[in-house]
Amino acid sequence: MILIVIFFLLVFIIHSFIQIIQWLINQHRLYLIIKTIPGPKINFPLWGNINLLTGILRNQPIGLQSKAFINLMNDICEQYDPNNRIGLIRLWFGPFVPIIIITNANIAQKILNSKDHLDKATFYSLFRYAIKDGVFTSKTEKWLHQKREIQNHLKFKALQRYIANTERHLATLNERIDAVIDDMNKNGQIDDIKPILSTFVLDVLGENLFSTKFHSQSTGVEPKFVRSVNRMLELSYIPFLQPWSYYFNKSILVYLCNLAIFLKTMNYVNNFQYSVRKIILDRFKMKKFEQKSRKQLSLLDSMIESRISSMNPDRILKLNQIETQINTFVVAGHDTTTSALSWALYLLGHHPEQQQRLIKEIDDFLADLNLNGESITLLSMRQLKYLESVILESLRLYPSGPFIARRSRSEFKLNEQTTLPGNINYIIFIQHMHMNPEYFREPKKFYPERFLRCRKETEFEWVNHQAYLPFSGGHRMCLGREYGLMQQRMFLINIFRRYRVKSLDRFGDCQPRFNFLLSSAHFPIRFERRQPQSTPATPSFMTTVSRHSFL
């Protein structure tokens, strides 16, 4: 008996030894290929450039580690490929996770449009504690299934059902801003615009996704789960900067260095997820949506309806899968929309000429609707070309995701001379490309005119549209793109029909922070009414909307 145990033990040891040798040989081959790409010096292959990450962990507090990593990538790109001659920079984190940073738009498009690069990078698995395995983090096969279920609910035609909810919450937002303007002590000044925008976005999402009222605007306070999720995303950077932890991403042990904070945050997140689960179950059991017109269905109702009405098993999502998708939309959708709105206000508040041009376009647009007796529609809002340019330019300067990352399943042939091996993580550095003068002239300048298609309007050209990736690109482009753009259009039309804004800090003082996503801008702002409420000849935007509602 003892001999049998010893025999199997020896077999196990020999097998493990062979596996380790094969793995080391493969990693060495990978290393020999990777090291030909420009990047930081590698003194010891087993250690690689991990010292760069441990330096961030050692020298930066938790809230600033993510920004330090973005700064590190910018510095590496400037040092090892200053003229974007190659567009590839190598980071070798020992035997753990080889990374190639992409700063060339053409290479980025090849990766994004390749079916062999649909998998998210290894470190995206660290998100799953906060938002589970939804469309934002899932692997290719699961993502394709989720996409088929979700995409019809977020297409242009489906957005009609969300307009009324957004319109109501815009009215509440106007009341809050008017109250600040009427307050003699505040005189229209808000010390930090972020909570105002965050509660507005959350209330809209709650009704659109759940048919549930969060009442965040009425209380004026962000719910605990919103603050907790942001904290959770910040904590996700800790294992991200520890590549060895990727192999243990399913274990809570990777968070031991911040165990108390993590457990407290997870408690809030779990409470929120429990609330989401309860809403889903209640609505599923009661089938409340059967009493509604199809046009009034929320996204959650639509997903449940699809599950019940479809006889094709391939289209059926379990309730926990629906919960996963709702979590993704609330967490990712809330943060990205709030971020986009806040940075747009920040930029317009510092650029009165561009703000005035936007105001004139909105006034002319609404006047034409009054004259012709037409309604504001999703399609008609697209006539506002300068509004569209403002949105695009603010997303260029402050993209919601500073980078996106993919993992290759097979070799990637860049050209006749260069072929990269499989099982590599690619970081497509969107922020760096958006600030590259090769793609955008005077990239640090807020200049919406660069996006106008008519060359007579601008001396700046949109040099290479492949370099513009605020919503990612290729096969895994953001599914919520049209929804987010709709929210931004309606918000900016509403604000600048009624108010002028002025950012009260010095331009550039408000520095963005990151937690895998770009955080919202925190800055003081002043709102001024454009016209007195009592002037009947110039009705407010919401009054105009009452006659020409969003349809």
186-211 tens-digit pLDDT? 899 999 999 999 999 999 988 887 77
Indicate the average pLDDT of the chain.
Answer: 80
Place of tokens 């962000």: 222
Q: Render pLDDT for 245-258 as a digit per residue (tens, 0 to 9).
A: 555 555 555 555 55
Alpha-carbon distance values, 223 to 180, 200, 256, 521 (Å): 22, 12, 26, 18
> Stretch 511-527: mean pLDDT, rounded?
84
The dihedral of CA 233, 238, 243, 248: what is its sign?
A: negative
Q: Compute and round to an integer the Cα radius of gyration of the chain.
A: 25
Give the integer Cα–Cα distance in Å for 199 and 226.
Answer: 10
> Where residue 538 falls among pLDDT bands split at 50, 70, 90?
very low
Give the annotated binding-site residues for heme. 478
26 closest CA partner among 123, 99, 98: 98
> Where residue 236 falls among pLDDT bands split at 50, 70, 90?
low
492 closest CA partner among 414, 384, 368: 384
> Where residue 3 falls among pLDDT bands split at 50, 70, 90?
confident
> What is the structure's pLDDT at 533?
46
Q: Which segments of 310-457 does DSSP mark as H helices, in order?
A: 319-328, 334-350, 352-372, 378-381, 385-397, 430-434
For 90, the 3-state DSSP assignment is strand
More confident residue, 384 or 5: 384
Side-chain half-sphere CA neighbours of 209 within 13 A: 26
Give the integer Cα–Cα distance in Å for 255 and 236.
Answer: 9
The separation between CA 283 and the C-alpha centre of its own chain, rounded to angstroms, equals 28
Q: Render pLDDT for 272-293 as a digit per residue (tens, 0 to 9).
A: 677 777 777 777 776 555 555 5
Judged by average pLDDT, the poorest of 97-111, 147-161, 274-288, 537-551 is 537-551
> Where residue 320 falls among pLDDT bands split at 50, 70, 90?
confident
pLDDT at 530 over 80: yes
Of all residues in the chain, what percent carry a pLDDT higher than 90?
30
pLDDT at 469 over 50: yes
> What is the structure's pLDDT at 153?
74
For 311, the 3-state DSSP assignment is coil
Place of tokens 């029909």: 497
Q: Are 143 and 135 in contact (CB under 8 A)?
A: yes
Give the annotated binding-site residues. 478
pLDDT at 544 over 50: no
303 closest CA partner among 319, 285, 291: 319
Please report, for the chain, the start and end positions of each structural domain, with discontinuous segments joined by +.
Answer: 35-547
For 251, the 3-state DSSP assignment is coil
> What is the structure's pLDDT at 31?
78
> What is the structure's pLDDT at 126?
66
pLDDT at 294 over 50: yes
Query: What's the predicted TM-score (pTM) here?
Result: 0.87
pLDDT at 313 over 60: no
Q: Count other C-beta atoms under 10 Å from residue 226's C-beta.
A: 24
Give the architecture-level CATH label for domain 35-547: Orthogonal Bundle (1.10)
- 255: which residues sit within 8 A by CB, 6+ positions away? 235, 238, 239, 262
> What is the structure's pLDDT at 443?
92
42 closest CA partner among 118, 105, 98, 106: 98
232 closest CA partner among 260, 259, 266: 266
> What is the structure's pLDDT at 239?
61
> Stretch 447-458: mean pLDDT, rounded?
71
Cβ burial, residue 57 (10 Å; 0-12/13-18/19+): middle
> What is the structure's pLDDT at 185?
87
> Where residue 503 falls among pLDDT bands split at 50, 70, 90?
very high
> Stretch 424-442: mean pLDDT, rounded?
91
More confident residue, 181 or 19: 181
> Stretch 496-523: mean pLDDT, rounded?
87
500 closest CA partner among 182, 188, 172: 188
The separation between CA 189 and the C-alpha centre of its own chain, rounded to angstroms, equals 29
More confident residue, 517 or 311: 517
> Where residue 262 falls among pLDDT bands split at 50, 70, 90?
low
Give the integer Cα–Cα distance in Å for 364 and 368.
Answer: 6
> Stretch 95-109: mean pLDDT, rounded?
86
> What is the structure's pLDDT at 543?
41
Determine the Cα angle at 282 with ends 277 and 283, to 5°: 100
> What is the structure's pLDDT at 537?
37
pLDDT at 541 over 50: no
Place of tokens 């590839």: 88
Give the integer Cα–Cα distance in Å for 161 and 483.
Answer: 11
More confident residue, 476 or 271: 476
Count, residues in the chain: 551
For 119, the 3-state DSSP assignment is strand
> What is the structure's pLDDT at 546?
42
pLDDT at 458 over 60: no
The dihedral of CA 278, 279, 283, 286: what is its sign?
A: positive
Of all residues in the chain, what percent carry a pLDDT higher than 70?
79
pLDDT at 299 over 50: yes
pLDDT at 42 over 60: yes
